[in-house]
Structure formats: structure tokens, C-alpha cells
Structure 1
Amino acid sequence: MATNLTGIELFVIQRVKEVRIAKGLSQEKLSLALNKGVGFIGDREAPSKKAKYNINHLNEIAKVLDCSPKDFWPECPIK
């Protein structure tokens, strides 16, 4: 099923997933650490979903993952 997400949104979702996995957190544990429902991260990482992160989400995720919000962004614009 195709999504309506843009290239930059898909990039950011993938980067959050990569950092989350590298830090050893499950989708559920990260969701709960953000005081969100257990499916919050899974809803964004699922290819069939249209859910995306906002800037506040990325800042809070960076706090939990002990990284910079910049770690989720590409070095160059997405074409």
C-alpha cells in the first residue's frame, strides 16, 4: 500500500528507526518513554501507515535516544 509521505518524511522515519535500533530500544519502549501509546512508534515505522513525526516528536525522541535531533535529518536536501 502506498503512502502519501514525502521523501524527507520517509528519510526521517527511517533514521529514527536506525538510531532506535542502534540504541537497543524496541518500538514499544521508545513509545512509552515518550509517554505515548504503545503503538506510537510502530504507527510511524509501518510502511502502510501515513503517520509522521513533527518537530516536537523529534526533539523528545532525541532526548530519549541521547542524540541530537540533527541526527534524523539528511546532510543534503532530498530530491
Structure 2
Amino acid sequence: MLTEIELYIIQRVKEIRESRGLTQLDLSTRMGKGVGFIGDIEAPSKKAKYNIKHLNEIAKILECSPKDFWPEKAL
């Protein structure tokens, strides 16, 4: 089971990804990952999660700051 902060970050990445018009496949491919990488993380079962390296790489692709994925206050 993922923590509240992990779920928050997954949702924020998804929101920003969608606002940029990228699919899960687009982002997975740009990261050099398998086709289901992002889908596995965003899946309702949420068994996978991002690590810091992933978040930094995603921020580069989405042209934002890694800080954009985090809440302003602790959860």
C-alpha cells in the first residue's frame, strides 16, 4: 500500500502529464522505459511508484520543476 504522499505525487505527475498532452506511452517512451511503466504507476492498484531519479527525469520531459509534484505542506 502506498503512502498518502506517494499517491499525491503520482496524481500530480498525471495531472501535469495530461495538461501537456502526453499519454502514458509517450512519457514511458521518452523516459526509455517499457511501454507500461507509467501505466503501472498510475494503475488503480498502485503497486509501483516513482523514485527521485524518475521524478527528476519526468520534470525535464514535462518542462517543469520536480517541486511541482510535491504539496506545499506536509501531508
1:10-54 deviation line (CA, Å, top 9, x unaligned): 000000000000000000000000000010000000011310000
Match of 1:26 in 2: 23
**TM-score relative to the length of structure 2:** 0.98
TM-score (norm 1): 0.93
Q: How far apart, CA to CA, are the structure 1 residues paired with 2:46 and 2:74?
A: 24
Q: Which consecutive residues of structure 2, in runs of 5 or more, have no partner in the other structure?
A: none
Tell me the distance in 1 between the aligned counterparts of 2:33 and 2:65.
Answer: 20
Instruction: Give the fraction of aligned pairs with identical amino acids, expressed as a percent.
Output: 71
What RMSD, in angstroms, separates the aligned Cα atoms of the two structures? 0.5
Which of 47, 65, 71 is the aligned partner of 1:68? 65
Does the 8 Å contact 2:2/2:46 carry over to 1? no
Runs of 4+ in 1 over 6 A off after TM superposition: none
1:1-79 → structure 2 map (5 Å cutoff): 4-78=1-75
> Structure 1: which amino acid aligns with 2:10?
I
Distance in 1 between residues matched to 2:38 and 2:62, nearest whole Å = 13
Q: What is the distance in 1 between the residues matched to 2:46 and 2:20?
A: 24
